[in-house]
Amino acid sequence: MDTTVEIREGDWAAIGEAASEIRRIVFIEEQRVPREEEWDGRDPECRHFLALHDNLPLGTARLLPDAHIGRVAVLAQARGLGIGAALMRAAIEAARRDGHASVELAAQTHALAFYEQLGFMAFGDEFLDAGIPHRNMRLDLDH
């Protein structure tokens, strides 16, 4: 499979339909996150990223106004192709463009190594979010 991935950046109106379907499959169906926790009402204020391969949406992420990256999700059949890293690089670059000194995220503990490869450092104690163990992570941005 050719792994050329296009990353689109936009608001919820532009990207929400495809992004919400990916998040529904990954978080609500696969990971059993309660629907009311997944749909937190913050999507309209976020910048969204959508990864496409052959115009097929395969992954998504969002950047909150306070430079938190969240809702990073890649469909099961597309994992391991670098899509998550491409989404993260796009979100990090957007935060840098906005002038943020750092970006933060709450990582599921099984994904800590993935974020560490992108330069994130874990801090604080492990905690549960939607019943899933997480750690907070931060990446300082050099401007």
**Per residue in 7-23, pLDDT tens?**
999 999 999 999 999 99
Distance of alpha carbon 7 from the chain centroid: 12
Tell me the DSSP string of 31-76.
Answer: S---HHHH--S-GGGSEEEEEEETTEEEEEEEE-TTSBEEEEEE-G
Contact criterion met (CB below 8 Å) for 87 and 7: yes
CATH code of the domain in which 50 resides:
3.40.630.30
Q: Summarize the confidence of residues 126-132 as an average pLDDT.
A: 94
Instruction: Give the pLDDT confidence score for residue 47 in this predicted structure.
Output: 97
Per the domain annotation, does 79 fall within a domain? yes
| Domain region containing 70 | 5-100
Per the domain annotation, does 126 fall within a domain? no
Per the domain annotation, does 118 fall within a domain? no
38-86 pLDDT tens trace: 999 999 999 999 999 989 999 999 999 999 999 999 999 999 989 999 9
Per the domain annotation, does 109 fall within a domain? no
Per the domain annotation, does 131 fall within a domain? no
Which pTM does this prediction carry? 0.94
Instruction: Give the pLDDT confidence score for residue 126 in this predicted structure.
Output: 98
Q: What average pLDDT is seen over the chain? A: 95
Per the domain annotation, does 117 fall within a domain? no
Does 143 have pLDDT greater than 80? Answer: no
More confident residue, 56 or 1: 56
Per the domain annotation, does 124 fall within a domain? no
Q: Considering its fold, how many domains does the chain have in total?
A: 1
Per the domain annotation, does 115 fall within a domain? no
Contact criterion met (CB below 8 Å) for 67 and 103: yes
